[in-house]
Structure 1
Amino acid sequence: MSNTETRSDVLDCAAPDEHDPEHVQVLEPRDVHLGGEDTLSVRRTLPSLRRSFVGAWCFADHYGPEQGVCMDVPPHPHTGLQTVSWLFEGEIEHRDSGGVHAMVRPGEVNLMTSGHGIAHSEVSTPARDLLHGVQLWVVLPASSKDLVREFQHHVPEKFDAPGVRARVLIGSLAGVTSPVHTETPLLGAEVVLEAGATWELAVDPGHEHGVLVDTGHVDVDGVRLDRTVLGVRDAGLDHLRLSNPTDAPARIMLLGGEPFEEGVVMWWNFIGRSHEDILRLREEWNEAPEDRFGRVAGYRGATPRLEAPPIPADLRLRRRFRRGRQEGAAARRER
């Protein structure tokens, strides 16, 4: 999925310096339209003004359930990241410049590696116009930022615990391990808690963990999270307690990973390491996209591809970090 905003605001996403693994940071989403008024609206919790990453997870869009709206995102670029697509309902057609033509379906994870550069399109199918799911990005470390294009597909099996049903998309949880490989240690899982259920699960104490609530209400270590909210806990504890206090099932996405300590510049659909990186990537996409990003074959939309929005001349992009303000604001207008 693309960030289709034509005015790509730059956020100072520096997290506070405090580190308390028993504190649950609550992040509210902001609404973003993927196009015009009749297109899909998503709820974005990462990046936020208060936090840049959960592990190496750097972007989280949550959408639906929406009936009768379309997702039609023309070919657009990515660099320095992996996209993770997961649907609860609906169907999306994926095409990319690595030659992959695949469908995104409920219960099936698709992970696309952009690395040096990739372009792709996403279009919901008319036969299944109900859309409900998440789109997630993972930042690649500097040592892997120029990987070749790659696409992974996996259908995780459900596993049960008392009052719990879960699928592991990425990483390991409760003795279940996904074959999907990533460049940093990560966890991604869908978890359904039955009415009144509590699940205390062992987790890696070296990982940060985020809980994105899709349906219902969930208590995370005693902190109530409402629907669409992301609750984040820093590394340091070896367990996580999830409770559903309601009389209906609740569904969450559980995200985790080793704290990502590198600084990155994240703007529009690009991840780089400097302001100059982003300027160069933007120019390459707008002026000669096929040289670096390749061509997406078979897309039939009215707009051949998305143009990268302008960067104001008096704006200098600065790296964002997991926490602290090592380079000051994430972006500042130079005078």
Structure 2
Amino acid sequence: MTAERTPETYECAAATGTEPESVLLPGHDVPLGRYTTVRRLLPQWPRRMVGAWCFVDHFGPDDVRGRPGMQVPPHPHTGLQTVTWLVEGEILHRDSLGNAQTIVPGQLNLMTAGHGIAHSEQSPPEHPAVMHGLQLWVALPEEARHGEPRFEHHAALPSLRDGDVTVTVVVGELGPARSPALVHTPLLGAEVVFHGPGRHRLPVDPAFETAVLVMSGAARVADVPLSPGALLYLGQGRSDLVLEADAPARLFLLGGEPFEEPLVMWWNFVGRSHEEIVRARADWMRDAGFDADGGHPTRFGTVGSCDEGPLPAPEMPTVRLKARDRHGRVHT
């Protein structure tokens, strides 16, 4: 996902002093395609990443009865993994490797872009009445980001039950539960569902940065009230996390070892320099058929059986894109 036509350039202000105990980061609405608006929770100016998680969009719950639902035409990615997690609805993923995979709630689509891939995400013509979920990106480290693209679909994921609380491990491991998803840095993504009022103490790795968002309902996380539309960043050094809810609620936990490599994020590309982004854009415009020089698709390939044509890349910004670390400090 995430193929907005006027992408933001994420250049965070440099951090000073020590990490705060916790920071509540309100999201902001971003139109995605013609029919969907998402709440963008990462990246933000005060907080660029959580571990290798570098991008979080929360969409819905939206009533899509009589509407197209999600319709994101073919678009490219480099240097990242996309994680799609649905609570309600149905999305058909197609990619330039030839995969066509429908995802429904409780299943995981994980796409590894490597040096380049293209995909589309569309609600089928006959789709459920409500669409609700998350789209997340994971930055690939240097040793993995030039590799071959890959797609995984996991129809079943491990879960833990504690009274009226269910924890599903989407990525990484939590206690005895380990996700089958292949990632390239120490990482955790887990859904926590309160089926009724309750309190749950969740073990976390103190070496990890940790953050929590609420998808539905309301909760208290480390004594901080949290509702949909914001991300609570909790820093490092915690060995557990107390979650509480007075009624049914659905949360998502993010964690990971701090990602130290400076990144350039622009449109759908994650790279390390301005020149890399320029090259990726030019390759996509050629492969998608927008450039006059033509030629056969090479880097990104084509997405077959998609009703919509590929998205053109936006024009490059007039300023030079700068690589920044997770604190927002510029690296040259």
Q: Would the TM-score normalized by the shorter structure come out above 0.5?
A: yes
RMSD (Å) for aligned C-alpha atoms: 1.6
Q: Displacement of 1:122 after TM fit?
A: 0.7
Change over 3 Å in CA distance of 1:34–1:209 after alignment to 2:
same
d(CA) in 2 for partners of 1:238, 1:80 = 31
Q: Tell me the TM-score normalised to structure 1 length.
A: 0.91
**Alignment match, 1:169:** 170
- The superposition leaves residues 82-134 of structure 1 with CA deviations (integer Å, 9 ceiling, x where unpaired) of 00001001100110011111011100011000001000011012322421100
d(CA) in 2 for partners of 1:65, 1:201 = 26
Checking the alignment, whether the CA contact within 8 Å between 1:93 and 1:102 is kept in structure 2 is: yes
- The superposition leaves residues 278-308 of structure 1 with CA deviations (integer Å, 9 ceiling, x where unpaired) of 111111111234210011111012xx10011
**Alignment match, 2:137:** 137
Q: How does 1:280-299 map to 2 (within 5 A)?
A: 280-289=279-288, 290-299=297-306
d(CA) in 2 for partners of 1:145, 1:14 = 26
**Alignment match, 1:315:** 319
d(CA) in 2 for partners of 1:135, 1:157 = 20
Instruction: Provide the aligned length of Structure 1 versus Structure 2.
Output: 319
**Alignment match, 1:105:** 104
Change over 3 Å in CA distance of 1:15–1:252 after alignment to 2:
farther
d(CA) in 2 for partners of 1:271, 1:64 = 26
Q: How does 1:145-164 map to 2 (within 5 A)?
A: 145-154=145-154, 155-164=156-165
**Alignment match, 2:25:** 27
- The superposition leaves residues 136-159 of structure 1 with CA deviations (integer Å, 9 ceiling, x where unpaired) of 000001111111111112121442
d(CA) in 1 for partners of 2:313, 2:54 = 20
Unaligned runs of 5+ in 2: 289-296
Is it true that 1:256 corresponds to 2:260 in the alignment? no
Checking the alignment, whether the CA contact within 8 Å between 1:163 and 1:198 is kept in structure 2 is: no
**Alignment match, 2:293:** none
- The superposition leaves residues 251-275 of structure 1 with CA deviations (integer Å, 9 ceiling, x where unpaired) of 0111111000110100000011001
* SS at 1:240 equivalent: strand
**Alignment match, 2:38:** 42
**Alignment match, 1:211:** 212
Checking the alignment, whether the CA contact within 8 Å between 2:158 and 2:179 is kept in structure 1 is: no
Checking the alignment, whether the CA contact within 8 Å between 1:174 and 1:201 is kept in structure 2 is: no
AA in 1 matched with 2:206: P
Unaligned runs of 5+ in 1: 329-335
d(CA) in 2 for partners of 1:43, 1:116 = 28
- The superposition leaves residues 202-249 of structure 1 with CA deviations (integer Å, 9 ceiling, x where unpaired) of 1111101110110111111111112221111111121111111x2x21
d(CA) in 2 for partners of 1:115, 1:220 = 35
* SS at 2:320 equivalent: strand
Is it true that 1:62 corresponds to 2:58 in the alignment? yes
* SS at 2:220 equivalent: strand
Identity fraction in percent: 47
Q: Tell me the TM-score normalised to structure 2 length.
A: 0.92
Change over 3 Å in CA distance of 1:104–1:14 after alignment to 2:
farther
**Alignment match, 1:193:** 194
